Amino acid sequence: MKKFALVAVSALATVAVSTAHAQEVRVYNWSDYIDESLLEKFTEETGIKITYDLFDSNEVLEAKLLAGGSGYDVVVPSASFLARQIQAGVFQQLDQSQLPNNVHLWDTIKKATASSDPGNAYSVNYMWGTTGIGVNVDMVAERLGDDYGSSWDLVFDVDKISKLADCGVHILDAPTEVIPAAMNYLGLDPTSQEPDDIAAGGELLESIRPYVTKFHSSEYIDALANGEICLALGWSGDVFIALYEADDADNGVTIEYVVPDEGALMWFDQMAVPSDAENVAEAHAFINFMMDPQNIADATNYVYYANGNLTSQPLLEEDVIGDPAIYPPEETQESLYVLAPYPPRIQRVVTRTWTRVVTGS
Amino acid sequence: MMSAVRGLTRRLPILIPFFWLLVFFLTPFFIVLQISFAEFQYGQPPYVPNFRKVEGVGDFFNQLQMMTLYSYEILLSDNLYWKAFLSSLRIAAVATFFALLIGYPLAYAMSRAPRSWQPILLMAVILPFWTSYLIRIYAWKAILQKNGFLNNVLMELSVITEPLTLLSTPFAVYLGIIYTYLPFMVLPVYSSLEKIDPSYNEAARDLGASGLTAFWRVTVPLSLPGVIAGCFLVFIPAMGEWVIPDLLGGSGTLMIGKQLATELFNNNDWPVAAAVAVCMIMVLIVPIVIFQRAQESDQRRRQEEG
């Protein structure tokens, strides 16, 4: 018995030693956000083993980062969250010499992300998109007429959304994106951090709550695709995933993504390396791999989110680069807004408002 | 000298559980308590560390002064937390009631089954634990959803014509909690039922009690310790439940465990989250401990009288 135990211990020790030497990288990214064959390609090319985990909210990621010791080497927060996380000392500066592919980056996007990460010292854009509306074309036309339009009315006009309640409505469980959208609809500045403005947005959301089936940030993809819901306030690429899923299933469901006329949030998801990452060189290797024009083009072709890589654009499929809902033309871009991070005191107001919206108390 | 050693060896069996309590309950509790008095900061960690090594009396008072009741003020200034607490209390109480309603007959049937069957039946109750509880809750999602297993079967049997909305309802939350914690009710009830000497029942019957009376006046009182243990084992974790309402419930399901998670994940406010935890322990565990002590002394008195 004792001998067996000894064998077991030495076996464990060998395993521990060998894993310490094998190169590996642990990546924490959003769900439905990559063509997973790229991960295999990465390991084939670099010999680095990859662990790839998923989350579906900035809040969950932030909680892990602030607690420390997350164990991840690359994480992908949105720029507005990244900004305050940099200040909290969560991230380390990137070593640009290990990122030769940075010559492919797109200046327009770099300029936009520099407002959250000055000089792009801590992060590289992974993908970007808008927060708009996913529509089941036939179900909504049946209830609101063929010209249901492309306005936020679809979500925030009680008259309209109440007619859609019976076919199902999902809204992102993302307080820092949905409340500004409501404020924007009311004609308020969506980037305002005044508690009164936030409360006004919250009241508007409370008024439509009876018609919302669920507040959730990832279930709406499948729900839209299989016709379980007819409207979703969601992220651009996710709606496109639903669109093509329904197309492939040939189930008679037609989906459309709408960037509302009144303007929408434009967000940027940034690859960054936590300060306590164990595999820093491997993290850079992964980020550099994702900055390769062909790789990021494959990812964009797969998930329908625009990327921040200029050289990748000729490699994109025509219906991706040519779709104004994925790569908005400049005149649409003018109506889009970008959010700044909330200080903790205002964050509490936003969270409290959100709890009132979703639970009614 | 010898007597001291003997005293120690005699006390050892009592010391082990106390050591357990110290390491796995009191220490984490004091860490949580300390965080609840800390000041919030946006950073790593998300609170201002307020316990260093104490250097002298002055330093001790200095550190004491750094403590703040701010987190508790937040809890008191907003009735959300009370509402969430009461809602949890109600959900946990209802779930415990139904777990008892289903679990007791189950345990009774098990204890009455032929001896050779009992290990197999016991195994059957424990078997679900071999699958992760998270996976089993996800399985319920698949069963309850609109085009899920249950709706399909009911439609096939023409019981219903339109699929029912079962997921994201309070019903689904109750179902999930009862399903998950049922074994915690069955096992202690079974163990106390199984210990009852069948001759007690026979004696009651010989003395003219009907089967039902014998069950009600003899079996049930004798199984009461198991029932109480089972109720606590279901009620306490159900009270703090977060995963089940999150996965099976709708957005409107208000529970204190969910609220605590919101403080951690959305506000990153560890001090308030810790204060919620401390209040839960104070309001829940303390009355339970008092109740159990009363129960014990009651039993002791009866034994002395008997």
CB-CB under 8 Å, A344 with B42:
yes
Question: Do A260 and A149 fall into the same domain?
Answer: yes
B195/A2: higher pLDDT: B195
Question: For residue A162, what pLDDT is reported?
Answer: 96
Gap from B70 CA to chain A (nearest CA, Å): 13
Do the domain assignments include residue A10?
no
Number of domains chain A is built from: 2
Question: Do A251 and A289 fall into the same domain?
Answer: no
The dihedrals phi and psi of B288, each to the nearest 5 degrees, come to -65, -40
**Cβ neighbours around A259 below 10 Å, total:** 23
User: A91 touching B, CB under 8 A?
Assistant: no
Question: Do A208 and A353 fall into the same domain?
Answer: yes
Question: Do A108 and A48 fall into the same domain?
Answer: yes
Confidence of residue A129 (pLDDT cuts 50, 70, 90): very high
Question: Do A66 and A148 fall into the same domain?
Answer: no
Number of domains chain B is built from: 2
Is the separation of the CB atoms in A32 and A303 below 8 Å? yes
Q: What is the pLDDT of residues A190-209, one digit of tens each?
A: 999 999 999 999 999 999 99
Is the separation of the CB atoms in A34 and A302 below 8 Å? yes
pLDDT at A13 over 60: no
Do the domain assignments include residue B72?
no
Do the domain assignments include residue B275?
yes
Gap from A227 CA to chain B (nearest CA, Å): 11
Question: For residue A3, what pLDDT is reported?
Answer: 41
Nearest-by-Cβ selection for A214 from B45, B250, B262? B250
User: A59 touching B, CB under 8 A?
Assistant: yes
Question: Do B10 and B118 fall into the same domain?
Answer: no
Question: Do B300 and B220 fall into the same domain?
Answer: yes
Distance separating alpha carbons of residues A193 and A180, to the nearest angstrom:
10
Q: Find, in chain A, the residue whose alpha carbon is nearest to that of B267.
A: A348
User: A346 touching B, CB under 8 A?
Assistant: no
Question: Do A197 and A249 fall into the same domain?
Answer: yes
Token code pair at residue B17: 């559980």
CB-CB under 8 Å, B46 with A66:
yes
The dihedrals phi and psi of B116, each to the nearest 5 degrees, come to -70, -20
Do the domain assignments include residue A41?
yes
Question: Do A169 and A116 fall into the same domain?
Answer: no
Question: Do B6 and B120 fall into the same domain?
Answer: no
Do the domain assignments include residue A233?
yes
Could you list the residue range(s) of the whole structural domain that residue A252 is in?
130-266+339-359
The number of angstroms, rounded, from the C-alpha of A34 to the middle of its chain's C-alpha atoms is 11
DSSP bridge pairs for A307: A127
Do the domain assignments include residue B32?
no
Question: Do B132 and B222 fall into the same domain?
Answer: yes
Token code pair at residue B146: 């609109």
Question: Do B2 and B133 fall into the same domain?
Answer: no
Q: Give this prediction's pTM.
A: 0.82
Do the domain assignments include residue A210?
yes
Q: What is the pLDDT of residues A150-165, one digit of tens each?
A: 999 999 999 999 999 9
Do the domain assignments include residue A298?
yes
Q: Is B126 exposed, middle or buried (0-12, 13-18, 19+ CB in 10 A)?
A: exposed
User: A214 touching B, CB under 8 A?
Assistant: yes
CB-CB under 8 Å, B251 with A358:
yes
Pairing of strands B39-40, B47-48: antiparallel
Residue A165's domain is classified under what CATH number? 3.40.190.10
Do the domain assignments include residue B111?
yes
Question: Do A151 and A216 fall into the same domain?
Answer: yes
Do the domain assignments include residue A239?
yes
Could you list the residue range(s) of the whole structural domain that residue B157 is in?
79-305
Q: What is the pLDDT of residues A314-328, one digit of tens each?
A: 999 999 999 999 999
Distance separating alpha carbons of residues A352 and A38, to the nearest angstrom:
40
Closest CA to A306 of A324, A288, A294: A324
Question: Do A147 and A262 fall into the same domain?
Answer: yes
pLDDT at A4 over 60: no
Q: How many helices (H) and strands (E) does chain A have?
A: 17, 10
Tens digit of pLDDT at every position of chain B (306 positions) = 566 677 777 788 888 888 998 999 899 999 999 999 988 888 888 888 776 667 777 777 777 777 888 899 999 999 999 999 999 999 999 999 999 999 999 999 999 999 999 999 999 999 988 999 899 999 999 899 877 899 999 999 998 888 888 888 889 999 999 999 999 999 999 999 999 998 998 999 999 989 899 999 999 999 998 999 999 999 999 998 988 998 888 777 889 998 998 898 888 899 999 999 999 888 887 778 887 787 788 778 777 765
Question: Do B144 and B18 fall into the same domain?
Answer: no
pLDDT at A7 over 70: no
Encoded amino acid at A140, one letter: V
Question: In chain B, which ranges are continuous DSSP H helix?
Answer: 2-21, 27-36, 56-66, 70-77, 80-112, 118-126, 133-144, 149-156, 170-194, 198-206, 211-214, 220-239, 243-248, 256-265, 270-280, 286-305
HSE, CB side, 13 Å, CA atoms: give it for residue B232.
14
Question: Do B236 and B301 fall into the same domain?
Answer: yes
pLDDT at A14 over 50: no
User: A66 touching B, CB under 8 A?
Assistant: yes
Closest CA to A53 of A77, A79, A26: A26
Question: Do B193 and B110 fall into the same domain?
Answer: yes
